[in-house]
Structure 1
Amino acid sequence: MPQISFNLSSKVDVSDAENIARYVQVPAMQNGPLYRTMFPLSDTITETQRDEIIRWYADMLEDAFQDRWESFLKARSIDGTPVGFCGWTVIERNREQVEANNGQANEPPKKEKRKKTWIPEVIDIDGWSALSRALRMERDRVLKNLDNICRLTFMAVNPKYQRQGIGSAMMQRICEEIDQHGRYAYVLAAPDGVRLYTKFGFEIVGRVETPQGIITSMLRQQRQS
């Protein structure tokens, strides 16, 4: 495949959600343990059911873009089609506690709890809930005694355009910011992502086994740029 030309942008909008879900998120996730656990019948679903799954992911992205609790980075081809996407959030426990104690807490607006009025009919709710609980426990285990952490919440490249430097370009941008602020970085990695994260200094600190494969817990130590 010819080398793709792409550019990175940190500007995302609600209008980007549908294309990111359709061209990046679902294609990149569909062979991973989390997606396979959530949608165990994914090999036999209809096109209508797949569109429903895409719409569901797009809805969640729209919520995230509106809340602004996370930072995002998208990679676009020359024609504007998204080919890569990542998201991350920063955890600064000590700073927030100090500001709160001094009466100077500058907290973001309270996040409204949006009630999902629908979920895809093919989702395995019990499997999804159990795996989410296991991933949360693993994350808490690793991060409980740490502070100033960048937690990667999502990293994906459309499979058609993988191994063309898109993932590395996004990670390079994120790691530059991480090191500028002297942060740890943490991710729960699907099997296909372990090699990329290792390249950027993440180390394996745990694993969550699922019937659909292993999700790897990875931590990058603090550095100074």
Structure 2
Amino acid sequence: MQYQLSDVCLGDIDMLVRQCELPAMSRDPLKMIMFPNADPSPEEEEEETKWSIEYLQESLQNDSCYFRKVTDSSGCYAGFAIWTLDPSSTVTGHKTKSTQKRRESWNPASLDVRAWIEVSNLLREERQRVLNGQHNIWRLTTISVTPEHQRQGVGSMLMQWGCDKADSCGWNSFVMASPDGVPLYTKFDFKVVGQVQIKHGAFTSMFRESRPFIERSDNNTDNSIKY
């Protein structure tokens, strides 16, 4: 199957959440902490979906966030990723806008805010421990592949773009990996440096050092690739 890698626009966000993020995140430990009700009503599910859509729309307007999507030959969404040049680690020459904050008044009723904050604090502490004052850290914050397109190279396509970007800019990379993501990140030379155990599983902190950048002759990073 042929896949196309391209930029993301605001008009993509709704369907990227509905078709990619929600199905891909169904077993994610953080999602199960945040939304403990395993059988939400249709109204609760739609509210959670709209909350996620708004968050991604806000992120897309942040200069420190880099979105890429993958579509199949029919134009259907296969997956997307968000890479972020961590504003807290950015030095002169890589200026970014301040991150927009989510409006606290707009939280789904089904969100366990206390549990979400507790786990977020644990993940943040682990990130700070690993990075420890390093500059220009390139973080993979989201990668979601529609279930029917998994194990067909879509995730690798998104990872290759991010790693090429990091290497071309001389940035080291970091990700807090869910259990399902560890094998993919290992394939791209991310090394395990720690772990955070939470109620529904563990998040693994992984770090990748920048390597000398060699531009690929196939130019697949910005166009298309077949799997």
TM-score past 0.5 threshold = yes
Return the offset for 1:89: 1.4
CA distance in 2, matches of 1:33, 1:163: 21
1:65 aligns with 2:53: no
Length-normalised TM-score, structure 2 = 0.86
Q: Which residue does the alignment assign to 1:102?
A: none
Q: Which residue does the alignment assign to 1:216?
A: 204
CA distance in 2, matches of 1:8, 1:185: 21
**Shift in CA distance, 155/110, structure 1 to aligned 2, threshold 3 Å:** closer
Q: Which residue does the alignment assign to 2:4?
A: 7
Across the aligned residues of Structure 1 and Structure 2, the Cα RMSD in angstroms comes to 1.9
1:155 aligns with 2:152: no
> Gaps spanning 5+ residues in structure 1: where?
100-105
Q: Please list, as runs of the form range in 1=range in 2, the aligned pairs for 1:188-207 lying within 5 A after superposition.
A: 188-207=176-195
**Shift in CA distance, 174/109, structure 1 to aligned 2, threshold 3 Å:** closer
CA distance in 2, matches of 1:48, 1:160: 26
> Gaps spanning 5+ residues in structure 2: where?
214-227
**Structure 1 residues 118-157: Cα deviation after superposition (integer angstroms, max 9, x where no partner):** 2111111111110000001001111113223211111111
CA distance in 2, matches of 1:67, 1:202: 26
Q: Which moved more, 1:62-71 or 1:130-139?
A: 62-71
**Aligned equivalent of 2:13, options 4, 10, 17:** 17
Q: Please list, as runs of the form range in 1=range in 2, the aligned pairs for 1:47-66 lying within 5 A after superposition.
A: 47-66=42-61
Specify the SS of the correspondent of 1:44: coil
Specify the SS of the correspondent of 2:196: strand
**Aligned equivalent of 1:126, options 111, 114, 120:** 114
Q: Which residue does the alignment assign to 1:26?
A: 22
CA distance in 2, matches of 1:48, 1:91: 35
Counterpart AA for 1:210: I
Counterpart AA for 1:222: S
Q: Please list, as runs of the form range in 1=range in 2, the aligned pairs for 1:76-225 lying within 5 A after superposition.
A: 76-91=71-86, 93=89, 95-96=91-92, 107-225=95-213
Return the offset for 1:72: 0.9
Q: Is 2:177–2:206's contact at 8 Å kept on the other side of the alignment?
A: yes
**Shift in CA distance, 110/12, structure 1 to aligned 2, threshold 3 Å:** same
Return the offset for 1:112: 4.6
Query: How many residues are paired up?
Result: 212
Q: Is 2:63–2:96's contact at 8 Å kept on the other side of the alignment?
A: no
**Structure 1 residues 23-52: Cα deviation after superposition (integer angstroms, max 9, x where no partner):** 1111111211110110111x2112222121
Larger relative helix fraction:
1
Return the offset for 1:116: 4.1
Counterpart AA for 2:139: R
CA distance in 2, matches of 1:89, 1:32: 20
CA distance in 2, matches of 1:150, 1:30: 26
**Shift in CA distance, 107/186, structure 1 to aligned 2, threshold 3 Å:** closer
Q: Is 2:78–2:149's contact at 8 Å kept on the other side of the alignment?
A: yes
CA distance in 1, matches of 2:46, 2:126: 32
**Structure 1 residues 154-202: Cα deviation after superposition (integer angstroms, max 9, x where no partner):** 1111122110000011111111111112221100011100000000000
Specify the SS of the correspondent of 2:210: coil
